[in-house]
Amino acid sequence: MKKHSQKRKLTNTRSSNNLGVSVIIEDLNSHPKCPHGPTLLFSKEIKKIKRTFFGCSACRDRKLCQFFLLKYDKINISKSKLQAWENERIKLLKGINHRKSYILLNKIKALDSNQRTFCITCSEFTLPQEHKDHALINGITDYQLQHPSEILPPLENAKKEAQYLFSKDSVEFIVNTFLKLNYKHVICVGTPRIHEHIQTLNSNLSSILLDFDKRFHNFFGPLEYCWFNMFNNYFFFEEASKVFQDYLKGTGGKDTVLVTDPPFGGRSEPLIYTFSHISNQYKRLAHNELPIFWIFPYFMEPQIVNFSQNFQMLDYKVQYDNHPLFHNGITGRKQGSPVRIFTNVSLSQIALPEPEYKYCRKCNRWVAQENKHCNTCERCPSKNGQTYKHCNLCGKCVKPNWKHCSTCCKCVQTTHSCEKIVFNGMCLFCKETGHKKVDCPNLQESKLIIEKRKRNYNDSAKKKRKNKPVV
């Protein structure tokens, strides 16, 4: 895993939401804070004029968090503006006392299930008569107390805290994998269902949940849950930060794994900053790399590999209960869920469930049934749930519905336009923006390689025609 100094700048001009917007990751502790912790430094070009500003790390809509500060205004922040931000922070934290919530939780557990009521509107346990006009959950069972993600309505604001929750099969597969790999401590970043399942297991596996959903204060104790913003590595309470430090120390730097399921619409740069920071903390204890299971769509692979060349993608398709497409059912996506697990753990150690998956002896790893081994590429190449085909001109396997375009000198969709496509992302070779690795000017041999492939293909075709027996 590559080392990332806190002061090292890491930029990328591509986002799933805003093209032309860069995120500059440096020492976030030096940034002004909004109610959701240290802000991020953004750079946006409008009509060839670049504007650099601080914005909220968690909310991608100014209506949800109004924080906005131009970079050059940082040294001249008015007292009234500072006070307004502080007031918003206090408002966000108001009424949350984790210790009191835990004491109340134990009292609730002592009651019969028909006496247990949770107010969704106020996010607290209560008596039904006190919240008559609110949305209530009545008759909460012991199982539901241990699995709050199954009764709390998912947060659905796509520009803030959208929640998609793992299916039971995916939860069991991930946790069983941890048990087979002999892990004993699991850091759950934004994965409440993994945490819930571990908490109810009769095993030596322990876990701690770091999550942005503050409603979990009502269901987990101070040593089990920390209110956390993964986009800026921020604990909302200092006590929670100390709890996490103690948890890391308690592992002794051994048998620990981190599993995370970030919002897919969020920027990957701040996530990389956070996971690098946690990994470096662990490394100081363990003197080795922290195993990470990062759950993300398969098409985000370049961004994760850019984080660390040690990361590889499992073929396992992660499913969600409350997403209309991210599952393998009849109503799901045709090729199954596009969500995968990226990990720095050797793929040969991770067995996938049969019969949906099979073991490839040539690759020494488990792959999806539709993933056919290519003897030319010497690997199982499929990523999206289809069976890929090999293109001799491209020298690689491509999607089955793609065809080679002599103008573009590569395989593309049949309905594509041959016009030059402007790429706003970052080159994985030189780390500069505006081009891909294959077009990198620092790799001058790229065009020569294409020409060589053409010549080899033509020579091979001629040879076959020449040696073809006459009937």
The pLDDT value given to residue 279: 94
Q: What phi, psi does 168 have (nearest 5°)?
A: -60, -40
Contact 270, 26 (CB under 8 A): no
Residues 6+ apart with CB under 8 A from 80: none
List, in sequence order, the alpha helices (H) in 60-97.
79-93
Contact 188, 178 (CB under 8 A): no
Instruction: Map residue 57 onto helix, strand or coil.
Output: coil
Q: Is 417 exposed, middle or buried (0-12, 13-18, 19+ CB in 10 A)?
A: exposed
**Domain boundary assignment for the chain:** 21-93, 96-146, 159-368, 401-459
Contact 277, 233 (CB under 8 A): yes
CATH of domain 159-368: 3.40.50.150
Q: What is the longest distance spanned by two Cα atoms in the chain?
A: 93
- Which has the closest alpha carbon to 286: 264, 262, 254? 254
Q: Is 437 exposed, middle or buried (0-12, 13-18, 19+ CB in 10 A)?
A: middle
Burial 345-374 (b: 16+ CB within 10 A, else e): bebeebebeeeebeebeebebbbbebbbeb
What pairing do the DSSP bridges indicate for beta strands 225-229 and 206-211? parallel
The pLDDT value given to residue 343: 96
Tokens describing residue 59: 């909310």
- Which has the closest alpha carbon to 157: 89, 63, 76, 238? 63
Which residue carries 């002794």 as its tokens? 252
Contact 380, 363 (CB under 8 A): yes
- Which has the closest alpha carbon to 325: 250, 264, 394, 370? 264
In the chain (471 residues long), the average pLDDT of successive 10-residue segments reads: 36 42 84 92 83 88 84 81 87 92 94 92 82 86 94 66 79 97 97 96 94 95 97 96 95 94 87 93 89 94 82 94 60 78 96 95 95 94 93 92 88 80 59 65 54 60 55 40
Work out whether the CA dihedral 118, 119, 125, 129 comes out positive or negative. Answer: negative
E strand or H helix at 226, and its extent?
A: strand 225-229
CB neighbours (10 Å) of residue 80? 7
The pLDDT value given to residue 234: 96
Instruction: Map residue 257 onto helix, strand or coil.
Output: strand
Please give the distance of CA 190 from its chain centroid, rounded to a whole number: 9
Cα–Cα dist 379/365, whole Å: 10
Instruction: Map residue 124 onto helix, strand or coil.
Output: strand
Residues 6+ apart with CB under 8 A from 434: 13, 423, 424, 427
Query: Which DSSP category does 10 fall into?
Result: B
91 DSSP β-pair partners:
none
The pLDDT value given to residue 422: 55
